[in-house]
Structure 1
Amino acid sequence: MSIEAKQFLTGSGRRVLTNEGRQGMGGVAGVGSSTEKMQGYVAEAVFENCGQLDNQQLDDIISWIQLYKS
């Protein structure tokens, strides 16, 4: 499965990563409010690291993130 940076979108369809997989709202490096940048940094970490994980490891990470949902 080939995952591309352009697949990382907000709920409204706005890109959170540049073509190179770095933080950047609208695909532009360094752009975004403080919380948009944080969202982009998390997306960057996912893009960089999750390709090597198995399904159980991915499920574990998803469950940790869900701890923060209210």
Structure 2
Amino acid sequence: MKKQPSASDFIDRYNRRVLTDDGKPGMDGTEGVGSTTECMKNNVAAAIYANCSQLDDKQLDEIISWVNLYRS
């Protein structure tokens, strides 16, 4: 069985936390902090944290493919 990530595992490319300890969006673990786009990104991280623990690898691959629709 794989280890479930904790809220502190969600970090950005600058090694900054994007979720509070209870999984709410927030830069450096502080709820509601961040630029407009950081807040959008952190909302996605919070949705993943809250909703993906019970999904299997195939379902997670589907979600990844949806995210890839937005990549250039």
User: Same-fold call, TM > 0.5?
Assistant: yes
Q: If each structure's helix is expressed as a fraction of its own residues, which one has the higher value?
A: 1
Alignment match, 1:29: 31
Structure 1 unmatched runs, 5+: none
CA–CA distance in 1 between the matches of 2:4 and 2:47? Answer: 16
RMSD after superposition: 0.6
TM-score between both structures, scaled by the size of structure 2:
0.94
CA positional deviation for 1:3: 1.1
SS of corresponding position for 2:61: helix
Describe how 1:1-40 pairs up with structure 2 within 5 A.
1-40=3-42
Q: Deviating runs (4+, > 6 A) in structure 1? A: none
Identity of aligned residues (%): 51
Residues 1:48 and 2:50 are matched in the alignment: yes
TM-score between both structures, scaled by the size of structure 1:
0.97
CA distances 1:7-50 after superposition (whole Å, capped 9, x unpaired)? 00101101100000000011000000010000010000000000
